[in-house]
Structure 1
Amino acid sequence: MTITDAIGRIQEIQALLTPRAATPASGGLATATLAGTATAGGASATAGSPFAAALRQASVTSSAVGAGPRMVQAAQTQLGVAEQPPGSNDAPAIRTYRGALQSDPGVGPWCAMFVSWAAQQAGTPLGDTGGGFASVDQMWAWAQRSGHALPAGATPQVGDIIVLNQHTGLVTGVRPDGRIETIEGNTSDRVAARDHAPGEAIGYIRMGR
């Protein structure tokens, strides 16, 4: 066998060992690949393409999103919920927040109840037994005891629980100037977006760690 014949034979063997491209599945179903691409009805999408972005958005699950962001997602669905009548600390939705607690404390200040409800919706209930809290002080004491507390000087993340003076809410962002954006229950008798100077925070509670 000449050198030319040997090279030709090696090329034939390599061709046999090289896997052929997979035939796209029919029906338009999206299929993720190990290379980080996706195909849908034969169309390929790289990780940065609009199709891949849509695929990622459609496939987000509770296991793919952190506990804090899941709490924010739950809380955002309640924006605008208000006491009925104003100043009563009560409403059908607020009774639902109270229902997240292990025992219903009755009508009263409900900011901690709202946070407890959001945590329950996110699958990370607050408290040693997951019973939630009606009291900000009790919630903060539990966080310190259980290792979920962060000091006032910490940099908050989206989904952290901000602990204020007898009030609480969820961090939704931090502005370039340092002001902390939140969503809170029982603020002006409703669920609403607010912002605070960093110095207002007594500390933060971070779930999922």
Structure 2
Amino acid sequence: MTTTANLIRIAAGEVGYTEYPPGSNGNKYGQWYGMNYVPWCAIFISYCFDKISLPLPIRSSKGFAYCPDGVSWFRNRGQWFNDPKVGDVVFFCWRGDGIADHVGIVESIKPDGSIISIEGNTGIGNDANGGQVMRRSRTPGIILGFGRPPYTHSVPSQTQASRPATPTPKPTPPQREIAKVPPNYHQDLVDRLLGNKSDKSHKHKS
């Protein structure tokens, strides 16, 4: 049975993994997907769902590597929501432009509406290209929305975090967290995912 509990178990078991060498985007998830040395937050999500035999065939039978593709897929299938449930795929938008910059898995939901998410390619000081699998505490202001996969069994939408999240510095102003990204951010990301840029040491966020 494909359950949220199975997904959280798989994702939680990856917490602490880091890419190698640091700063390369080289990792086992990219190797598995067949697209290594590229931004890998969405590839990590694809890996976790494949492990529970609930693949998200967004760009290939294995999943997706570009966050906006995931948003479109969930929206087109009527599986896009504004309120979270445990096990949802959460998409983040750092700049407030409506384009997904990063993605994670909802592990738990706090009473104030913030969430604990398990994310790939994140890190303290670099939210969306930090090279690690981590638990992060995220506030509603940076959340674009939630994709809800068709589990065969669900857990309650509200639950307390079983383990502490890695602390996230509080933003200023408090209503939105801002991440610095280059103006050609999305075009560069697409170019790298398509193999049009080969410099493995030059990183962009996923």
Q: TM-score, normalised by structure 2?
A: 0.61
Q: Identity across aligned pairs (percent)?
A: 32
Counterpart for residue 91 of structure 2: 163
Match of 1:57 in 2: none
Paired residues of 1:127 and 1:139 also in contact (CA < 8 A): no
The answer to which of 164-173 and 104-113 deviates more is 104-113
Residue pair 2:49, 2:55 contacting (<8 A) in 1 also: yes
123, 128, 134: which one aligns with 2:65: 134
> Which 5+ residue runs of structure 1 have no aligned equivalent?
1-62
Q: Quick one: which of 98, 102, 125 aligns to 2:55?
A: 125
2:106 is the counterpart of 1:178: no
For residues 76-124 of structure 1, the C-alpha deviation after alignment (integer angstroms, 9 at most, x for no partner) is: 1111000112111113x334xx52x4xx233211000000011111111
Alignment correspondent of 2:77: 146
Q: Which amino acid aligns with 2:26?
A: D
**Does the CA-based 8 Å contact 1:181-1:194 persist in structure 2?**
yes
Task: Tell me which amino acid in the other structure corresponds to 1:193.
Answer: R
Partner deviation per Cα, 1:14-38 (whole Å, 9 max, x = no partner): xxxxxxxxxxxxxxxxxxxxxxxxx
Distance in 2 between residues matched to 1:88 and 1:107, nearest whole Å: 6
Map of 1:24-63 to 2, 5 A cutoff? 63=1
Q: Helix, strand or coil: the match of 2:7?
A: helix
For the pair 1:206 / 2:134, whether they are aligned, the reply is no
Offset of 1:141 from its aligned partner? 1.0
Q: Which sections of structure 2, spanning at least 5 residues, go unmatched?
A: 94-100, 124-130, 152-206
Shift, 1:147, TM fit: 2.1
1:193 to 118, 135, 138: 135
Question: CA separation in 2, counterparts of 1:69 and 1:207?
Answer: 13
CA distance, structure 1, for counterparts of residue 120 and residue 79 of structure 2 = 21
Partners of 2:84 and 2:117 in 1: how far apart? 11
SS of the counterpart of 1:106? coil
Larger RCO: 1 or 2 (CA < 8 Å, sep 6+): 2
Give the Å deviation of 1:146: 1.9
Which whole-Å CA distance do the structure 1 matches of 2:17 and 2:26 have between them?
Answer: 11
Listed one character per residue, the Cα deviations across residues 124-144 of structure 1 (whole Å, up to 9, x for unaligned) are 100256330011011111111
Corresponding position of 2:42: 112
Number of aligned pairs? 136
Asked which structure has the greater CA Rg, the reply is 1
Q: Which moved more, 1:117-126 or 1:128-137?
A: 128-137
The structure with the largest helix share of the pair is 1
Question: Do the aligned partners of 1:70 and 1:159 also contact (CA within 8 Å) in 2?
Answer: no
Q: Please give the alpha-carbon distance, in whole angstroms, between the structure 2 residues aligned to 1:90 and 1:137.
A: 22
RMSD: 1.7
| 2:11–2:118 CA contact under 8 A, matched in 1 | yes
